[in-house]
A and B are shown apart, each in its own frame.
Chain A
Amino acid sequence: MITTSLKRVGMLTIAGLLVAAPLTFFVAGAGAQGRVVYQTTRKNAGTPNSTNVTTNSSGVVISYGNSAITYNAPSPKLASLGQALFLQNCASCHGTEANGVPANGTSGAFPNLVGLGPATIDFWIESGRMPAADPRVVQAKRRPPRLTSKQAVAIAAWVNSLAPSYPDIPTPNLKNANVSDGAALFALNCAACHTIEGDGDALAQGTYAPSLRNIPAYQVVEAIRTGPGNMPRFTGNLSDFQVRDIVKYVTTEIQHPQNIGGLGLGGLGPVAEGFVGLLLGVGILALVGFWVGERQ
């Protein structure tokens, strides 16, 4: 009796921790609820405050942005398809209202998606993190997306129709990007978690900064502008032009590093170098010594 109840308490504690952990990472996202316009301190920070705003006949923003990044709103025509897909793939956790309250009513266990903006929804689905393979994990893993790009946009369109918000889905234009500025900004803003070589690394309590080696350019913008999971949301301190420079650096030098010195050794830095130096360097030389020396 006592042992079973103890067990139950233990299980509950573990379950509570598992549920609470992801929750804490979505608090920032949930805080955006209720605000219709995504507030920033700088004009060009992923909102229609920038100059080139295109609206349709009824005054709804279709796209905005500048020569560096264009943000496109998902077409409202996709909303009905989006709702169907949402009910099929997302509602079991996020609820039929996308407010984070599933059917069984455990309020607060899952993030509220209302008012997060199309880019957030698009990023989580197109990076394959959602629908989650295991909703209990601390941090959803990047994997091949389960929904197509169009389906992701459709879901974003429906969620956005509940409470229109920003940023919209970005398309960076890397043509005039300055890779050197991007490198400096990357070292200042990104390397502290993603490492200077973009490999990503473990952070506290089961979270981690993912590797940037295989991420399309628009998703890098989405991540910077929306701050998924543990990542800070870079809005006021990075202009669209600076974000474009970072994206250029990530998609060129980070994803295709100039390893002119030979094998890149996995970009792991001194750990791999130490192994090679000791096992290959000292190891081979000791073997040569063994070969030329006497063994008895």
Chain B
Amino acid sequence: MSSEVINTKRAKQAATGPYGKVGHALNELDDRLGVAKGGRTFLDKIFPDHWSFMLGEIALYSFVVLLATGVFLTLYYIPSTALTTYHGSYLPLDGQRVTEAYASSVNLSFAVRAGLLMRQMHHWACDIFIGAIVVHMARVFFTGAFRKPRELNWTIGTTLMILAIVNGFLGYSLPDDLVSGTGIRIAYSIILSIPVVGSYLGFLVFGGNFPGTMVIPRFFILHVLIVPALILGLVGAHLFLLVRQKHTQFPGKGRTENNVVGTPMFPVFMAKTTGFLLVVAGVTALLGAFAQINPIWQFGPYEASRISYAVQPDWYMGFLDGALRIWPSWSFHSFGYTIPLEVTVPAVILPGILFNIAYVWPAFERKFTKDFAMHNLLDRPSNRPKRTAAGVAVLSLLSMLFIASSTDVIANFFHLPLNQVLWGMRILVILSPFVAYPVTWKICQELRVVEGGGKRKTTNVVTRTAQGEYVATAAPAYVDDVHAELEASEVPTFIVDETDEQGSAGTRTVDR
């Protein structure tokens, strides 16, 4: 009875159906979970090929590296401020009383196989992560990709940037070394400077006065669980919206507001993006292997009575540190209260304003330009002189604040008096946006009228005739400038229909 149905090889093959074992397995999965429709949408998701769309991927993949290396680090790191006597392989620390957090950080660098590589990769990946976020954000801003319908994704992205900066700072603090301890001290002071609630908030975060014993365990759980969970969730939302709303694209031949031109997820983009993931991991690994970052064993453990000069935060906190450094020491003492404006203004109000500008910009621009239309085609930055100029002005302000965070290093390196550097940076910070805006605006105006501007230039081919005469002729357009298939092609929507599986692996155009 049953034996004649199943127990032959042929019967098994017949049971797997015409799609082979993988196809059969997928069919079985689809029967139960209905993955075919969503999977098809996903595999057919069109990615425009422009290189600037890879910037966000650097951020995504360095986050993957962060998660992987971070998990490794949690296996060896002890989040405790309990004191212990260091007896490890780094002799200059031998016998010193240090916290468990510091001792375990040094031990995982010296005594754990690949521990230092993982720690350095984690730190480099963090620097790259936030750097890529900023560059990606700049691309989105200057090309107007944040406009309707993508305002929500811009908001999520801005939140992601802030969370990344916060988590970077938290992680930087965990080794409890001299330099990071100083950073926590500054963070505590910044919290204290918040009017009215500052001292309560400081006690809430630190579980008492600085430094206390709670800060490392609390920062740890924030750093490894709460903030990463938020980031992960928001990255999911960011990518979901990206798929849902489809990519923007630069204007070009065959590209309209109503289509997307690019390569589909499967197989072209999947290969490309997987390769890119490996390149990001590879570059991070190279940096981790060959470039030393944050040598905490040289810094020694943090003690409130110790301080090192020439201490800067990681680069993404630089603008905040710079603002703190150059702000004049204006504070008021009255009615028994201290109003520390020299901390509140540069470290609380200024970043508050800057981040809020980022949040409200899409609404601000909508209101200002009265442009409520849907935008799927990107702007060439020079065609939006005011927006571009405003963006460059803010970026130059941030850059100057960033540079101001290393006044001492600049003074020492160039043999300048520190006070002159400080005053120079004060002037540059105030001046830079006012110079950057009109200069950028003017450059944009000029670029708009340049013939062939924004188009890829073709070379001139110079040939010498037999008579010795030179003739220059324009080379034909690049082959890859001309898209082979720009008419909207049929995209298969049902897996069962075999005849639809002829979709090209090359560039494809689909309606939105």
Chain A min CB distance to B508 (Å): 14
Please state if A191 and B292 are interface contacts (CB–CB under 8 Å). no
Residues from chain A with Cβ under 8 Å of B252 in the complex? 296
Please state if A262 and B289 are interface contacts (CB–CB under 8 Å). yes
For window 62-99 of chain B, which residues contact chain A by CB distance below 8 Å?
A: 90-96
Interface of B is mostly: helix
Q: Does A203 contact B (CB under 8 A)?
A: yes
Please state if A200 and B412 are interface contacts (CB–CB under 8 Å). yes
Compute the total of residue contacts between A and B using a CB distance below 8 Å.
219
Please state if A258 and B90 are interface contacts (CB–CB under 8 Å). yes
Chain B min CB distance to A210 (Å): 10
Q: Does A59 contact B (CB under 8 A)?
A: no
Residues from chain A with Cβ under 8 Å of B91 in the complex? 179-180
Chain B min CB distance to A203 (Å): 7
Please state if B131 and A282 are interface contacts (CB–CB under 8 Å). yes
Residues from chain A with Cβ under 8 Å of B305 in the complex? 188
Contact with B along A263-296 (1 / 0, CB 8 A): 1110011110110111011101110111111111
Residues from chain A with Cβ under 8 Å of B463 in the complex? none
Knowing A191-B309, A205-B418, A209-B309, the reply to whether A289 touches B54 (Cβ < 8 A) is: yes
Interface of A is mostly: helix
Residues from chain A with Cβ under 8 Å of B306 in the complex? 187-188, 191
Interface magnitude class on chain A: 35 or more
* A102–B300 CA distance with the chains assembled, in angstroms: 48
Interface segment, one of B45-53, B143-151, B349-357, B382-390: B45-53
For window 185-244 of chain A, which residues contact chain B by CB distance below 8 Å?
A: 187-188, 191-197, 199-206, 208-209
For window 125-145 of chain B, which residues contact chain A by CB distance below 8 Å?
A: 127-128, 131-132, 135
Knowing A183-B300, A204-B418, A281-B284, the reply to whether A292 touches B409 (Cβ < 8 A) is: no
Residue of A nearest to B120 (CB): A261
Chain B min CB distance to A209 (Å): 7
Please state if B54 and A292 are interface contacts (CB–CB under 8 Å). yes
Chain A min CB distance to B101 (Å): 17
Q: Does A104 contact B (CB under 8 A)?
A: no
Please state if B290 and A286 are interface contacts (CB–CB under 8 Å). no
Q: Does A184 contact B (CB under 8 A)?
A: yes
Contact with A along B405-422 (1 / 0, CB 8 A): 011110110001111010
Please state if B293 and A261 are interface contacts (CB–CB under 8 Å). yes
Q: Does A249 contact B (CB under 8 A)?
A: yes
Q: Does B318 contact A (CB under 8 A)?
A: yes
* A296–B478 CA distance with the chains assembled, in angstroms: 10
Please state if A201 and B310 are interface contacts (CB–CB under 8 Å). yes
Contact of A253 among B54, B124, B298 (CB under 8 A): B298
Please state if A282 and B51 are interface contacts (CB–CB under 8 Å). no
> Counting chain A CB atoms within 10 Å of each CB, which of B132, B135, B306, B308 scores highest?
B308
Q: How many residues of B contact A (CB 8 A)?
A: 81
Please state if A262 and B312 are interface contacts (CB–CB under 8 Å). no
Q: Does B464 contact A (CB under 8 A)?
A: no
Residue of A nearest to B315 (CB): A274
Chain A min CB distance to B121 (Å): 11
Contact with A along B278-322 (1 / 0, CB 8 A): 011001100111111111011110010111111111110010000
Chain A min CB distance to B63 (Å): 13
Q: Does A260 contact B (CB under 8 A)?
A: yes
Contact of A192 among B292, B299, B309 (CB under 8 A): B309
Chain A min CB distance to B170 (Å): 16
Please state if B308 and A202 are interface contacts (CB–CB under 8 Å). no
Q: Does B327 contact A (CB under 8 A)?
A: no
For window 244-303 of chain B, which residues contact chain A by CB distance below 8 Å?
A: 250, 252, 272, 275-276, 279-280, 283-284, 287-295, 297-300, 303
Chain B min CB distance to A293 (Å): 3
Q: Does B231 contact A (CB under 8 A)?
A: no
Please state if A180 and B299 are interface contacts (CB–CB under 8 Å). no
Residues from chain B with Cβ under 8 Å of A203 in the complex? 418
Please state if B297 and A258 are interface contacts (CB–CB under 8 Å). yes
Please state if B116 and A285 are interface contacts (CB–CB under 8 Å). no
Please state if A271 and B409 are interface contacts (CB–CB under 8 Å). yes
Please state if A183 and B96 are interface contacts (CB–CB under 8 Å). yes
Contact of B308 among A184, A192, A263 (CB under 8 A): A192
Please state if B480 and A282 are interface contacts (CB–CB under 8 Å). no
Chain A min CB distance to B340 (Å): 22
Please state if B283 and A265 are interface contacts (CB–CB under 8 Å). no
Please state if A289 and B315 are interface contacts (CB–CB under 8 Å). no
Please state if B480 and A204 are interface contacts (CB–CB under 8 Å). no
* A285–B276 CA distance with the chains assembled, in angstroms: 9
List 30 interface pairs A-B (beta carbons < 8 Å), by A numbering: A138-B417, A179-B92, A183-B93, A183-B300, A184-B300, A191-B307, A192-B307, A196-B178, A253-B298, A260-B292, A261-B120, A261-B292, A262-B292, A263-B290, A265-B291, A269-B310, A270-B294, A270-B315, A274-B314, A274-B315, A276-B291, A277-B128, A280-B287, A280-B291, A281-B124, A284-B283, A289-B54, A292-B272, A292-B276, A296-B455
Task: List the 4 shortest-distance A-B pairs measured between CB atoms, nearest first.
Answer: A293-B51, A277-B127, A289-B54, A274-B315
